[in-house]
């Protein structure tokens, strides 16, 4: 079949499968990402291997799907930046910060050491640790809402910690990408690297703070073209993504995430959120999630099932213990700390994005990549179950005023020593 025609059919197929899977997943109480990932795995070499079918087996097709997913990733991280509420981050207080720090440090350290023990190279091990750091809070937020606990003490702590966790995860990723480039041995080159990173972040943030809003306002006022502001924001996010990797030596997604954070501080936030969601959720994001599954192959994991199980256990346990310890140190009770820890277990988009960067840059192999995909699936699956087990179900129903104050109840909930 003509490659161009095959592309149209394949894209239709991917978007359709992704949305149906997301819906089914939501109906059985699982987050959309779980279904989207699972359907990708089913379409991929693990089960159906659609890219191996004669009509879809062209080389050009693989390249285009990969690049569309790539554009999707950059958009998704811009969207994540736009959605981050820096103001909220300042408010959350010490418990959330400590929870996030514990929930980043422990998975990173233990994940790295476990991988090293199973014979992975240092570079690969560091990358596995990095993938394990990123929490996806949407899954916990959904479950907490349904339990009427979103505004409880633990609920707000989880949400706050997840925001900080995202930023910390991005920092870890930036450092890992920067230092894992080939030829970074001598002290001089490390100095140059740090200088490049500092220059990029300094310049990009300064430009963003002092010029982005004014420049976008100028575009709004003076550029007479349809969707000029949106197009300009897309130019900025693409340029930041490019500059982050080309000049700052960090990952491209760090750049687009930073562009999103900066736009989140402007009055264009709402209109960009609305439009980027349309572009993202309507087309690019479904393609990204399905393409993750197409790249993974769970079938080949039989031989290394021990390592797979260990990584998944480490992912669940270290996030739970690390985040809970952070909360406990901030004078939460043991039960409250446990709830915070469980709420941080789920991984999602960011973990998958980091893993796919590792795969495409050749730092991790397809086998480790597939383990990361399975890890995301499992953590996503167990988080709502664990949360439901640990929280009392509020009788007043989701987000009723009574339910919202449950966790704020007086002294009995506090840990006093």
Q: Looking at 131, 137, 161, 234, which residue binds its own copies (CB under 8 A)?
A: 234
Read off the tokens for 415. 């840990």
Read off the tokens for 396. 């007043």
Report in angstroms how near the CB of residue 17 gets to its own copies at its nearest: 10
DSSP 129: H
User: Which of 273, 278, 295, 302 is closest to 352 using CA atoms?
Assistant: 295
273 is a site residue for its own copies (CB under 8 A): no
Interacting span for its own copies (CB under 8 A) from 204-212, 217-225, 323-331, 362-370 = 217-225
67 is a site residue for its own copies (CB under 8 A): yes
Specify whether the CB–CB gap between 330 and 95 falls below 8 A.
Answer: yes
Beta bridge partners of 414: 332
Report in angstroms how near the CB of residue 195 gets to its own copies at its nearest: 20
Distance CA 80, CA 96 (A): 19
Interacting span for its own copies (CB under 8 A) from 84-92, 235-243, 309-317, 384-392 = 235-243
Given the complex with its own copies, which of 102 and 286 has the nearer CB atom?
286
Query: ∠ CA(146), CA(149), CA(154), 5° rounding?
Result: 140
- Please report how the helices 122-133 and 366-390 are oriented relative to each other, as an axis angle in degrees rounded to 10: 30
230 is a site residue for its own copies (CB under 8 A): yes
Specify whether the CB–CB gap between 253 and 241 falls below 8 A.
Answer: yes
Interacting span for its own copies (CB under 8 A) from 152-160, 222-230, 292-300, 376-384 = 222-230
DSSP 332: B
Specify whether the CB–CB gap between 327 and 155 falls below 8 A.
Answer: no
Q: Looking at 118, 123, 283, 333, which residue binds its own copies (CB under 8 A)?
A: 283
Query: ∠ CA(113), CA(116), CA(117), 5° rounding?
Result: 85
DSSP 414: B
Distance CA 175, CA 368 (A): 20
Report in angstroms how near the CB of residue 99 gets to its own copies at its nearest: 28
Given the complex with its own copies, which of 176 and 234 has the nearer CB atom?
234
Report in angstroms how near the CB of residue 384 gets to its own copies at its nearest: 15
220 is a site residue for its own copies (CB under 8 A): no
232 is a site residue for its own copies (CB under 8 A): yes
Report in angstroms how near the CB of residue 280 gets to its own copies at its nearest: 8
Q: Looking at 4, 267, 366, 393, which residue binds its own copies (CB under 8 A)?
A: 4
Report in angstroms how near the CB of residue 104 gets to its own copies at its nearest: 27
Report in angstroms how near the CB of residue 110 gets to its own copies at its nearest: 31
225 is a site residue for its own copies (CB under 8 A): yes
Residues 121-160, interacting with its own copies (CB under 8 A): none
275 is a site residue for its own copies (CB under 8 A): yes
Distance CA 91, CA 324 (A): 20
231 is a site residue for its own copies (CB under 8 A): yes
Report in angstroms how near the CB of residue 19 gets to its own copies at its nearest: 5
360 is a site residue for its own copies (CB under 8 A): yes
218 is a site residue for its own copies (CB under 8 A): no
Distances (CA, A) of 195 to 66, 90, 123, 254, 297: 32, 28, 22, 17, 39
Size of the site for its own copies (CB under 8 A): 54
Specify whether the CB–CB gap between 366 and 127 falls below 8 A.
Answer: no
Read off the tokens for 157. 């702590």
16 is a site residue for its own copies (CB under 8 A): yes
400 is a site residue for its own copies (CB under 8 A): no
Q: Looking at 70, 146, 154, 336, which residue binds its own copies (CB under 8 A)?
A: 70
- Please report how the helices 305-329 and 153-179 are oriented relative to each other, as an axis angle in degrees rounded to 10: 120
DSSP 149: -
203 is a site residue for its own copies (CB under 8 A): no
Read off the tokens for 307. 């390592």
Distances (CA, A) of 52 to 40, 43, 65, 389: 14, 10, 14, 42
Tokens 């900066």 label which residue?
262
Report in angstroms how near the CB of residue 333 gets to its own copies at its nearest: 36
Q: Which residues bind its own copies (CB under 8 A)?
A: 1-2, 4-5, 7-9, 11-12, 15-16, 18-20, 22-23, 26-27, 32, 60, 63-64, 67, 70-71, 74, 222-228, 230-232, 234-235, 238-239, 241-242, 245-246, 252, 275, 277-279, 281-283, 286, 360
């Amino acid at each position: 079949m003509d490659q161009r025609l095959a592309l149209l059919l394949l894209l239709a197929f991917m978007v359709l499968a992704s949305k149906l899977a997301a819906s089914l997943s939501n109906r059985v109480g699982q987050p959309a990402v779980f279904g989207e990932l699972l359907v990708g795995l089913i379409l991929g070499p693990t089960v159906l291997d659609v890219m191996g079918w004669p009509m879809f087996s062209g080389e050009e097709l693989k390249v285009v799907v990969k690049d569309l997913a790539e554009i999707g990733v950059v958009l998704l991280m811009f969207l994540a930046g736009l959605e981050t509420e820096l103001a909220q981050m300042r408010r959350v207080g010490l418990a959330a910060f400590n929870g996030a720090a514990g929930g980043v440090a422990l998975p990173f350290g233990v994940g790295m050491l476990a991988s090293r023990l199973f014979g992975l190279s240092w570079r690969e091990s560091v990358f596995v640790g990095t993938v394990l750091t990123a929490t996806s809070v949407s899954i916990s937020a959904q479950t907490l809402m349904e339990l009427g606990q979103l505004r409880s003490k633990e609920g707000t702590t989880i949400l706050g910690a997840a925001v900080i966790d995202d930023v910390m995860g991005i920092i870890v990723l930036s450092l890992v990408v920067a230092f894992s480039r080939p030829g970074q041995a001598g002290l001089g080159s490390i100095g140059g690297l740090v200088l490049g990173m500092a220059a990029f972040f300094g310049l990009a943030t300064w430009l963003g703070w002092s010029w982005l809003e004014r420049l976008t306002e100028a575009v709004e006022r003076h550029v007479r073209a349809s969707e000029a502001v949106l197009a300009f924001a897309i130019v900025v996010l693409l340029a930041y993504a490019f500059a982050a990797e080309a000049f700052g030596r960090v990952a491209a997604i760090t750049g687009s995430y930073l562009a999103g954070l900066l736009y989140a501080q402007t009055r264009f936030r709402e209109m960009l959120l609305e439009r980027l969601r349309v572009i993202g959720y309507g087309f690019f994001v479904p393609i990204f999630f399905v393409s993750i599954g197409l790249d993974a192959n769970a079938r080949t994991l039989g031989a290394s099932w021990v390592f797979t199980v260990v990584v998944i256990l480490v992912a669940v346990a270290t996030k739970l213990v690390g985040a809970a310890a952070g909360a406990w140190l901030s004078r939460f009770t043991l039960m409250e700390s446990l709830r915070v820890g469980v709420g941080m277990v789920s991984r999602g988009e960011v973990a998958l994005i980091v893993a796919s960067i590792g795969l495409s840059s050749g730092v991790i192999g397809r086998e480790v990549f597939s383990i990361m995909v399975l890890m995301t699936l499992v953590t996503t699956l167990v988080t709502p179950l664990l949360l439901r087990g640990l929280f009392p179900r509020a009788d007043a129903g989701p987000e009723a005023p009574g339910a919202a104050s449950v966790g704020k109840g007086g002294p009995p909930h506090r840990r006093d020593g």
